[in-house]
Amino acid sequence: MRRLLIANRGEIAVRIARAAMDLGIDTVAVYSEDDANGLHLRIADEAVPLRGRGVPAYLHIEDVVARAVEANCDALHPGYGFLAENADFAAACVKADITFVGPRPEVLELFGDKGRARAAASAAEVPVLRGTDHATTLEETREFFAALGDGGAMIIKALAGGGGRGARIVTAADHVEQAYERCRSEAERAFGNGGLYVEEMVPRARHIEVQLLGDEAGGLIDFGERECSAQRRHQKV
């Protein structure tokens, strides 16, 4: 890996650029028309513009990959959010002979869809909270909430979600529709996919992650447990 395109913006792009710098890897930042003054552009070795403004610019697979090819990048880091869990994006990088820093397309196709990931966990006899494993309609969402009974609460989440985007807690039946529509709209803007699913909410639970990192040769590193209970807007602090 000699030259890395960072397909993201803001703080996460800065962190990636600094890590690459420590490893002696040249970096290329991308930016939408309204992000021309972003800090990440000054940290990276080079910056190239994307077409369009705002989030949609970072969701255009063909344009992002084309910028990587034109900048002679041999690798691409998606950061989180945006296209980070999009299997088509990873496949487009592979087709362009660019190393996608992340899971293979077939892995993202499964785990990038949270509903399918839930179904796979259930099939492997991994315990999961009550919830749905498909793009869930508003009516199905209402029915699920009603089935939780008195005092029940649920979280509406984006199927293609990450970073706390497209998630809302619902504790009252008359809040379901508004929360659903807000989640759908936010997920569409953030990920280009407005599909949602629902899960039962467990109050005062601990959020513990077990992190693993694997490479192409089959090597696997266990980073152990990570305490993620302290959150702001459904994002780890």
Active site residues: 236
**Which residues, including other chains, have CB under 8 Å from residue 146's CB and lie 6 or more apart?**
173
Contact 130, 143 (CB under 8 A): no
Place of tokens 């077409």: 51
Q: Report strand pairing: 99-100 vs 75-77.
A: parallel
211 bridge partner residues: 224
Residue 8: CA count within 13 A, CB half-sphere:
23
Cα 152 off chain centre by:
28
Contact 84, 102 (CB under 8 A): yes
**Which residues, including other chains, have CB under 8 Å from residue 97's CB and lie 6 or more apart?**
74
Amino acid at 120: A
How far, CA to CA in Å, does 29 sit from each of 9, 151, 216?
8, 48, 25
**213, two tokens:** 């990192």
